[in-house]
Amino acid sequence: MKEEEIRPIRVFDEYLRLAALDADKYFNKSPRQLVLCPACGTRGVYSFSKHGFSYEECPVCQTLFVSPRPPAQDFFRYYQESDSAKFFATTFYRETSEARREKLWRPKALMVSEMLQKYGARQHALLDIGGGYGIFAEEYERLTNKKVTVIEPGPELAQICRQKGLTVIEAFLENVTAEQLPAGPKVFVSFELFEHLHDTRVFLQHLHALMRPGDVFLFTTLSGMGVDIQTLWDESKSVSLQHLNFFNPKSVRLLIEGIGFRALDVSTPGKLDIDILYNNQAQIKDRFWRNFVAHASQEQRQEWQDFIAGQGFSSHMFVVCECP
C-alpha cells in the first residue's frame, strides 16, 4: 500500500492547510490547562509548538501529547463547525472512500476477525465506537455475516449508517449506558479515534464499566515511536491539531493496565512509515534516513517497512485487551 492511495497528497495538503487556519480560529483564545502524561502521569517536557499547540514528551514513557490543552467543548465546536472538519467529511471522504474501503477497511475487517478468532471472541457481538460512515461495519458484516452496532455521535454520520441498514447508537461512548448494548459477550472496536480523545482515562474507565469479564476491546491508534513520526517529528503531517495523544507500545500498556484491562496483543502492523519518509524527503533532518530513502530500492524500502512493523516501531499501532 502507498500513502498516495489512501491520502492523495493534493487533497491531504488542502485539508492540512484548512486545519492550520482553524487551529488559530477556534483555539487562539482558548484557556489552556496543563495535562500530565496520559499514560503514566509524569509531568511532560516541552518539545515543540505547532499551529499554536504545545507538544510535550513524557521523559519516562515517551508518550507525545498536547499540553497545556484547550477545553473539550472547544474541540466539539471545532468538529461541528470548522472548515477543515467539513472538508474532511465531504471532499476528503468522497475522493478517498472507495480506495480506503478496498485498501484499508477490507483488510482491517479480515485482520480483526482473525485476531478475535485467536482470542476466542469471534462470536461476540461487535460494536464500533466512532463508526463514522460505517464502512468497517459493512465490510465486517459482509465478511462474517454478523451484525455490527455502530456507536456514532455525529447526527449526519449516524443517519448515513442507518441508511446502510446498520444498527446505530447515536451518542458519545461516554454517554452510552449498559441497557443500550446488545446482550451477551461483546467486542468493542475503535479505529483512529484514540489519538483524538480529550481524556483517554475517562473514555477507558467508562468503557471498562460497560464491559463484563471476557469482553474485548480492540483499537488502532498512532504510535509516536513510529519511524516516520520520530524522524519527521514536528514536521510530521500526523502531528496536526486533531491529534492530542501519541502513545507507543510501551506506554499504551501502562495506560490500559492502569485502568484494569489485560493486554492481549500490542503490535504495529503499519505499512506506510517508509513511504511517508520517501514522500517527505525535504523535511528529513536526520542524515541516515534522508540518504536511506534517496538510495534504497523499492524492494529494500519494503523489507525495511516489514522489519519496522515486526519490531513494533511503525506509527500504526494495533491493541487488543480484555476485561479480566
At closest approach, how far in Å is the CB of 19 from Zn ion?
A: 26
Q: How far is CA 304 from CA 189, 218, 233, 275, 311, in A?
A: 29, 26, 20, 11, 10
d(CA 135, CA 255): 29
Which residue number, 69 or 271, has a Cβ lying nearer to Zn ion?
69
d(CA 312, CA 62): 14
- The position carrying cell 498536547 is 66
Site string for Zn ion, 203-242 (x = CB under 5 A): ----------------------------------------
Q: With beta carbons less than 8 A apart as the criterion, state whether 171 and 153 touch.
A: yes
The number of residues that bind Zn ion (CB under 5 A) is: 8
Residue 94: what residue type?
A: R
Footprint (CB under 5 A) of Zn ion, residues 56-75:
58, 60-61, 63
* Bridge partners, 223 (sequence order): 247
Which residue number, 61 or 293, has a Cβ lying nearer to Zn ion?
61
d(CA 80, CA 154): 8
Residue 62: what residue type?
A: Q
37 lies in the binding site for Zn ion (CB under 5 A): yes
Q: With beta carbons less than 8 A apart as the criterion, state whether 96 and 127 touch.
A: no
Which among 32-40, 176-184, 220-228, 281-289 is the span making contact with Zn ion, rule CB under 5 A?
Answer: 32-40
In the chain, what is the greatest distance between 2 CA atoms, to the nearest angstrom?
58
Q: Which of 16, 30, 32, 42 binds Zn ion (CB under 5 A)?
A: 42
Which residue number, 37 or 244, has a Cβ lying nearer to Zn ion?
37
36 lies in the binding site for Zn ion (CB under 5 A): no
At closest approach, how far in Å is the CB of 64 from Zn ion?
A: 10
Which among 30-38, 214-222, 227-235, 308-316 is the span making contact with Zn ion, rule CB under 5 A?
Answer: 30-38
40 lies in the binding site for Zn ion (CB under 5 A): yes
At closest approach, how far in Å is the CB of 194 from Zn ion?
A: 15
Q: With beta carbons less than 8 A apart as the criterion, state whether 35 and 65 touch.
A: yes
d(CA 255, CA 206): 14
At closest approach, how far in Å is the CB of 310 from Zn ion?
A: 25
Which residue number, 37 or 176, has a Cβ lying nearer to Zn ion?
37
Question: Where on the chain is the footprint of Zn ion (CB under 5 A)?
Answer: 37, 39-40, 42, 58, 60-61, 63
